[in-house]
Amino acid sequence: MNKKIKPSLNGMQWLAILLILAGLAAAFSVDFNRIQLEQANRTAGIMVDYDELFRCAQGRGIPFEEAVRKAHNSGATGIIVRERTLDDLEKTGKIVILQGAELKVNVQGGQFGQAAAELEIDDGATYILTENQTVYDQIFKLLEAKKRHPQAMGIGPYRAIRTDLYSGELSLLGVGYPLEELKAAAEQGMGVVPRIRNWAPVNEPSIQAEAEAVARIPGLAGFGFNDETLPGGDNANALAYFAQYFKSLNIPLVSFEFYDQSGLNSLAGLMDDRVLRAHAIADNEIKKYNVVSAVDRFRLAAAERNIRLIYVRFFGMDQPVAALDTNLELIKQVKTGLTAEGMAIGTPEAAAPVTTPMAIRFCIGLGVIAAGAWVLAITAAPLAKGRWQVPSMALMVLSAAAWGGILRLWPVPAVKLMALAAAITFPSLGALLILKKDMAQRRRTQALPHAVRDLLLMSLVSLGGALMMCALLTETRFMLKLDSFAGVKLAHILPLLLVPLALWLRERKAGQFFLRTAETPVKAWQLMAGALMLAALAIYILRTGNTGVSSVSSLELKIRQLLDTFLGVRPRTKEFAIGHPLMLVLLYFGYRFQMYPVLLLGLIGQVSLINTYAHLHTPLLISLFRSFNGLWLGLLAGCAAVLMLSRGWRMISKQPKGRGHS
């Protein structure tokens, strides 16, 4: 650094620098190991839906085994199957369901032989008839375990079960899996992931029976749940029983992206976070996609969000006769897209457990505390009149002691709080170190490369904070999105308040400026500019985090797709189109208090840069590449803006101040 950016440092600042560097060194070791683990876990599975494949086979008039073979040859590696209901089994001809009154009519008509006429039939009961012993055994055992009180009967050539069920339970209550068809799929090399249906009441015997039903599935590659609430919900006892019986199966739990299931994250913790993330296009969205756009979505999910099971839902299922060929081509294209991203196609395994040692987290936290104390010192310096070094160092010591205690007692809340502190502190520190008091005067004699250098240095400080934040939260639960960075809105808003406040306190004439502004009549264009700025900030806040997709226009979606195609990893729009260019303009022309709106919008780039790394489920190399693309594109846009503004200013300056009188 030259002396324009790095003035003479005092003891407190040297201590802060040493602690920050130590924290960075610790963070680098964690982040490097994380990158290695992420690169080692590059196998993805392509899953198809059992019901959709079965319907396509029926529509084409081919055996299910042949449809499975075609899907496997196209690139599919597995099948996801929902637990069967009684309605499902009846539609496939495996059982017959009769209400008591219906059965009585059939018996009286002699359909089941003379012996059946002597049976005592309850008009209000439900009777399940089948000739398949395996199906019978599976249904009976699960109905018994789920407290539906089945009774065994023989009705003519059929094995029968009498039970009391509400009409809705025929299509909701799970009674096992299509073992014969799944055996055929497993023989073709397909893995099977069952989705367990909810039921009540939930107890240990019913969970044990469900686990035994799942264990009988051939080619078992994982298990998941079908409904928004797991059986038993967040009931600790129920989840403990699930973990006890399903851990013994030695298969991962499957979570479905964008489908929140109550109790799943808690169960994942009990299963040592052995989880695979799956991604599908929802039923209500699939009509918006074609093969090309669907492949792009699946490709990005696997490459950028740690998805390891691509759940390919079929197009055109309103015409299943013609749907098979279309979707076999879709599977081929998905395989090609994943391979192009460097993924291996196969049966994925849950990632190895990852955690950051407490000593390393403590060291990283000290670096964040030091950065925070430095920001506080810069902010308070005009008020303290030089008497701020000792209080700042004392605050650092007290904060370090508190950090150590909280980290030991409540490690997860502690690291989430410190990660939030890093996201707020480092973009603020970078901006305050670069935006010097005399910049407006110095910039008049400096060239554009100096402004570029300053923006790079500012971004480097923010990146350092991002890597420290990442290292603090490097843990399996965060990487699998079973837990997440806390305080997204605060991380986006507080630096926009903190930096202007510090700069306002530094300006000796800021109060006079406010007084003059308050006494000046407001013009229409100023009201319009203020309204536009407030609207922009509102959109900025609403679109933070992983939500707000509905606010993205179709044009922006197309631009994003183009950027993904040409750059490999799409940069954040807030960085390359808004934040970095405006910050470069500010650095070139020099900061003045009157340029507060430009400062506010320019800070968005630094805030967005560090918050990119709050998406812990995104591989770290992808985030680094995203930041790099955002920075160089933002620099190009900023340089173009600087040149255009400079030329425009020169043209305005050359205009005569007034017309001559003739």
Of 457, 336, 330, the C-alpha closest to 6 is 457
pLDDT band at 103 (very low <50, low <70, confident <90, very high): confident
Reduced to 3 states, what is the DSSP secondary structure of residue 316? coil
CA distances from residue 486 to 413, 493, 542 in whole angstroms, order as listed: 9, 14, 16
Q: Which pLDDT score, from 0 to 100, does residue 290 have?
A: 87
**C-alpha to C-alpha distance for 462 and 495, rounded to whole angstroms:** 12
Q: Which pLDDT score, from 0 to 100, does residue 6 have?
A: 46
**Axis crossing angle, helix 448-472 with helix 358-384, rounded to the nearest 10:** 130
Average pLDDT over residues 633-646: 92
Q: Which pLDDT score, from 0 to 100, does residue 289 have?
A: 87
Q: Give 579's DSSP letter.
A: I
Contact at 8 Å (CB) between 9 and 309?
no
Q: Which pLDDT score, from 0 to 100, does residue 660 have?
A: 44
296 HSE (CA, 13 A, CB side): 16
pLDDT digits (tens, 9 = 90+) for 261-316: 999 999 999 999 999 999 999 888 888 888 888 999 999 999 999 899 999 999 98
pLDDT band at 662 (very low <50, low <70, confident <90, very high): very low
Give the rounded percent of residues in the chain with a pLDDT score beyond 70: 86
More confident residue, 17 or 520: 17
More confident residue, 603 or 5: 603
Answer whether residue 552 shows pLDDT above 80.
no
Both structure tokens of 300: 């990005």
Q: Which pLDDT score, from 0 to 100, does residue 388 have?
A: 64
pLDDT digits (tens, 9 = 90+) for 220-273: 999 999 999 999 988 999 999 999 999 999 999 999 998 999 999 999 999 999
Q: Which pLDDT score, from 0 to 100, does residue 603 have?
A: 94
Answer whether residue 612 shows pLDDT above 90.
yes
More confident residue, 549 or 344: 344
Contact at 8 Å (CB) between 434 and 460?
no
Q: Which pLDDT score, from 0 to 100, does residue 550 have?
A: 43
**C-alpha to C-alpha distance for 83 and 214, rounded to whole angstroms:** 9
Which residue is associated with the tokens 């699998």?
A: 480
Burial of 110 (0-12, 13-18, 19+ CB in 10 A): exposed
pLDDT digits (tens, 9 = 90+) for 342-361: 999 999 998 888 888 999 99
Which of 104-108, 384-388, 630-634, 635-639 is the least confident region? 384-388
Both structure tokens of 95: 């059982």
pLDDT digits (tens, 9 = 90+) for 108-166: 777 776 666 677 888 888 999 999 999 999 999 999 999 999 999 888 888 999 998 88
- What are the beta bridge partners of residue 279? 310
Which of 207-216, 391-400, 451-460, 517-526 is the least confident region? 517-526
pLDDT band at 514 (very low <50, low <70, confident <90, very high): low
Q: Give 197's DSSP letter.
A: P
pLDDT band at 5 (very low <50, low <70, confident <90, very high): very low
Which of 80-89, 146-155, 627-636 is the least confident region? 146-155
Answer whether residue 4 shows pLDDT above 60.
no
In this prediction the pTM is 0.85
Of 572, 574, 577, 550, the C-alpha closest to 618 is 572
Of 539, 520, 528, 513, the C-alpha closest to 604 is 539
Alpha carbon distance, N-terminus to C-terminus of the chain: 58
More confident residue, 392 or 515: 392
pLDDT band at 527 (very low <50, low <70, confident <90, very high): low
Residue 61: left if φ>0, alpha if ψ -120 to 50, beta else—which one?
left
Burial of 65 (0-12, 13-18, 19+ CB in 10 A): middle
pLDDT digits (tens, 9 = 90+) for 69-83: 999 999 999 999 999
pLDDT band at 522 (very low <50, low <70, confident <90, very high): low
Q: Which pLDDT score, from 0 to 100, does residue 549 have?
A: 43
pLDDT digits (tens, 9 = 90+) for 583-602: 999 999 888 777 788 898 89
Q: Which pLDDT score, from 0 to 100, does residue 591 have?
A: 80
What is the overall mean pLDDT for the chain? Answer: 87
Answer whether residue 384 shows pLDDT above 70.
no
Q: Which pLDDT score, from 0 to 100, does residue 649 have?
A: 73
Answer whether residue 525 shows pLDDT above 90.
no
List the 126-130 sheet strands across, edge first: 96-99, 126-130, 158-163, 151-155
**C-alpha to C-alpha distance for 392 and 11, rounded to whole angstroms:** 11
